[in-house]
Structure 1
Amino acid sequence: MHTKESYATTKIAKEDTSDSREKITKTKEGRLLEKIDDDCLLINQIKGDFNKKRTNESSENVTTKPEHHEVEDDEEEESWRKQSEYYKNIDSKSFRQYELACDRVKQFYEEQHEKQTVAYNIQARINFKTKVRAKMSVWEGLEKLNRLLDESDPDTELSQIDHALQTAQAIRKDNKPRWFQLVGLIHDLGKLLYFFDSRGQWDVVGDTFPVGCKFLKKIIFSESFKKNPDILNPLYNTKYGIYSKHCGLDKVMLSWGHDEYMYHVAKNSSTLPAEALAMIRYHSFYPWHHEGAYSYLMNDHDKEMFEAVRAFNVYDLYSKIDEKYDVEELKEYYKDLIDEYFPSKIIDF
């Protein structure tokens, strides 16, 4: 005959077993998601190598470009490192005033921080790697993007093409390399995601941050992560999470949005240098380049790219003024610049 104590012991044992199974299941799910993403990265790398080979073969048949298109010499290439004359005396405290931001900005970040999970990020990357959303030129993409108002930005309510031209023109006035100017023009082009398979603006715009490890307080409105289910997962809520010390940011999943999306598009379709690709991928990673967080995930390559991202951020942030440029007046200059670094002209988005 079973006593009350034996029944209680049996019940506790079953509960312990259930908890253990749940933990094991979560662990297996986490590893499975990582495996899926690794496989997709490999497929994407093979695809990227194939596209580069095809582009190189095509470029062999292209006639020599005009003299002003030739690759700059070392001195001119390094000019991107020089401090901006255009924003030397800017009042930086007048930008990113989130404590004064309107309700739409705060509500945006509450939703973003709740829904940017590891599971969602892996699914988003699989979606990106397994389909093409549109085929069009970069300039056509900029024109399409012009209908979007970024709900996460407290500094401007101008159209996307206005901000793109503001940034590019500021870089151009400082006599930076042509590839740098192009980054200014296209750095936000990934916001086209909003018109494709996004679930709102929360997976398109806003500051970015790593998922799969502990959410740091240096992320804007960090208190709103309390609704994110990943903080309850032991795989994801430690300092390193699913990553390792100095593993390199290329192995880290940053919250999915326009930065990651456009980085992969440009990596597959352009001849932009590594510094340009880093500017595109990390320009919204403010906890890193603005607050100095996550340095323990960086490798030597990231330290080199950090300088480039910081150099670009000056133009991205401080060009947000009320001055608007004549799009038609600048169109031909920038279309020529686009063709220089996107040889295929029609891009898979």
Structure 2
Amino acid sequence: MGRLVVDVRTQVEETDSKPKSSDGEAQWHQMSMQLVSCPELKESVGLFQMPEHNAFGQAFRAYDAKDGERQACVEDLYRANHTHQTYDFGQAMRQKHLQFNKAVMSIWDCCELLNECVDDSDPDLEEPQIQHLLQTAEAIRLDYPDDTWFHLVGLIHDLGKVLLHPLFGEEPQYAVVGDTFPVGCAFDPAIVHTELFKDNPDTHNPQFSTKLGIYQEKCGLDNVVMSWGHDEYMYQVMKHNNTTLPPQALFVIRYHSFYALHQAGAYKHLLSETDHENLQWLEKFNKFDLYSKSKVRVDTDEVYPYYQSLIDKYFPKVLRW
């Protein structure tokens, strides 16, 4: 479904900055409203329920489970990530990837391209990436039928992982996936596999090894340099292509892998008042991103019209990546 278009010479088509509506969106929104307003439907279908175990029968994000099927792979990924993700590395990757000259393609083409990428940092997932995107989005639709922008965030939150694809330079896993964290200050113990930072040069740099490092109390996350990865890349792609999604959507995309913050409460001393307001949406999103992973696949053909209508509403037809 959809044709991949990769041509750095193609001009991104201009679009009206105002949100666009469509019959597809209205139809799917009406179905969602019927689901949550009708007691019979609600009882038979049910709102999103968090499972107790992942697809491998273990607890979610069980990074210390020694018998996990993917634990060795995940630990190797984090060893490389925590060794190489320094302040200088993040700055170099921004310079490299924020030229937006790699490809011109639509959001849906990028969703399909992501199926060729494997995330070595995830101990919970073995399904194609597009299934994770759709499972997340569909779970959000159950609980938040009115927040259509939130549905789209579920679909696109991981699209930055295309940096793993040869068309985008085939970056190493440690430069694209895994939990994100601030660089330029001390690594908090709440970060997964924090013991693996011992070989990171910034750990031994006096400028970066204190709680605040180069930052100030309540400086705001906009002023904090995060470790480089798919979150930051997709956020920058959205800004560069003038998405009309609301600010909280961009916040969720940018920090959804910042588990030390939204799951453990670390680094809150860096947050501004606006960050605290947006954090509630990030905490809501985490439930769906993490616990919707399942072997039960979403029918892509069935839901495509709805999500394409949201893409048309909030994005230009094609984007520069």
Q: Could you state the TM-score of these two structures normalised by the residue count of structure 1?
A: 0.75
Contact 1:180/1:276, CA 8 A, preserved across alignment: yes
Is residue 153 of structure 2 the alignment partner of residue 180 of structure 1? no
For residue 173 of structure 1, report the CA deviation from its aligned partner: 2.2
Q: Which runs of 5+ in 1 are unaligned?
A: 1-50, 80-84
- Measured in 2, the distance between the counterparts of 1:176 and 1:155 equals 29
For residue 187 of structure 1, report the CA deviation from its aligned partner: 0.3
1:233 pairs, out of 192, 205, 227, with 205
Is residue 289 of structure 2 the alignment partner of residue 288 of structure 1? no
Amino acid at match of 1:346: V
Change (3 A) 1:132 1:207: same
Q: Which runs of 5+ in 2 are unaligned?
A: 1-11, 37-45
2:191 pairs, out of 197, 219, 229, with 219
CA displacement 1:168-209 (0-9 Å, x = unmatched): 111122224111100000000010111213531101110100
Is residue 302 of structure 2 the alignment partner of residue 337 of structure 1? no
Counterpart position of 1:248: 220
Counterpart position of 1:24: none
1:91 pairs, out of 30, 36, 52, with 52
Is residue 292 of structure 2 the alignment partner of residue 319 of structure 1? yes
Counterpart position of 2:39: none
Contact 1:69/1:340, CA 8 A, preserved across alignment: no
1:207 pairs, out of 161, 171, 179, with 179
Amino acid at match of 1:86: L
Amino acid at match of 2:60: F
Counterpart position of 2:161: 191
For residue 242 of structure 1, report the CA deviation from its aligned partner: 1.1
Contact 1:211/1:253, CA 8 A, preserved across alignment: yes
Contact 1:137/1:346, CA 8 A, preserved across alignment: yes
Query: Would you tell me which structure has more helix in proportion to its own residues?
Result: 1
CA displacement 1:95-133 (0-9 Å, x = unmatched): 111111420001100000000011110011112333421
Amino acid at match of 1:183: V
For residue 88 of structure 1, report the CA deviation from its aligned partner: 5.3
Contact 1:248/1:299, CA 8 A, preserved across alignment: yes
Counterpart position of 1:308: 281
- Measured in 2, the distance between the counterparts of 1:283 and 1:221 equals 18
- Measured in 1, the distance between the counterparts of 2:20 and 2:282 equals 32
Q: Could you state the TM-score of these two structures normalised by the residue count of structure 2?
A: 0.82
Amino acid at match of 2:262: H
Contact 1:231/1:237, CA 8 A, preserved across alignment: yes
Amino acid at match of 1:193: L
Of 153-162 and 88-97, more deviation after overlay is shown by 88-97
For residue 332 of structure 1, report the CA deviation from its aligned partner: 2.1
Which structure's CA Rg is the greater one?
1
Change (3 A) 1:89 1:330: closer
For residue 159 of structure 1, report the CA deviation from its aligned partner: 0.9
- Measured in 2, the distance between the counterparts of 1:180 and 1:238 equals 36
Contact 1:87/1:318, CA 8 A, preserved across alignment: no
- Measured in 2, the distance between the counterparts of 1:193 and 1:89 equals 30
Is residue 74 of structure 2 the alignment partner of residue 113 of structure 1? no
Change (3 A) 1:86 1:98: farther
Is residue 96 of structure 2 the alignment partner of residue 127 of structure 1? yes
Contact 2:100/2:237, CA 8 A, preserved across alignment: no
- Measured in 1, the distance between the counterparts of 2:19 and 2:259 equals 42
For residue 258 of structure 1, report the CA deviation from its aligned partner: 0.5
- Measured in 2, the distance between the counterparts of 1:326 and 1:91 equals 24
SS in structure 1 opposite 2:116? coil
- Measured in 2, the distance between the counterparts of 1:159 and 1:115 equals 28
Change (3 A) 1:236 1:312: same
- Quote the sequence identity (%): 44
Of 97-106 and 305-314, more deviation after overlay is shown by 97-106
Contact 1:184/1:316, CA 8 A, preserved across alignment: yes
- Measured in 1, the distance between the counterparts of 2:288 and 2:98 equals 31
Change (3 A) 1:204 1:88: same
- Measured in 2, the distance between the counterparts of 1:245 and 1:296 equals 6
Amino acid at match of 1:307: Q
Change (3 A) 1:129 1:89: closer
2:232 pairs, out of 246, 254, 260, with 260
For residue 317 of structure 1, report the CA deviation from its aligned partner: 0.6
CA displacement 1:24-66 (0-9 Å, x = unmatched): xxxxxxxxxxxxxxxxxxxxxxxxxxx9xx96xx417x99744
* Structure with more relative contact order (C-alpha pairs < 8 Å, separation 6 or more): 2
- Measured in 1, the distance between the counterparts of 2:48 and 2:205 equals 44
Contact 1:150/1:157, CA 8 A, preserved across alignment: no
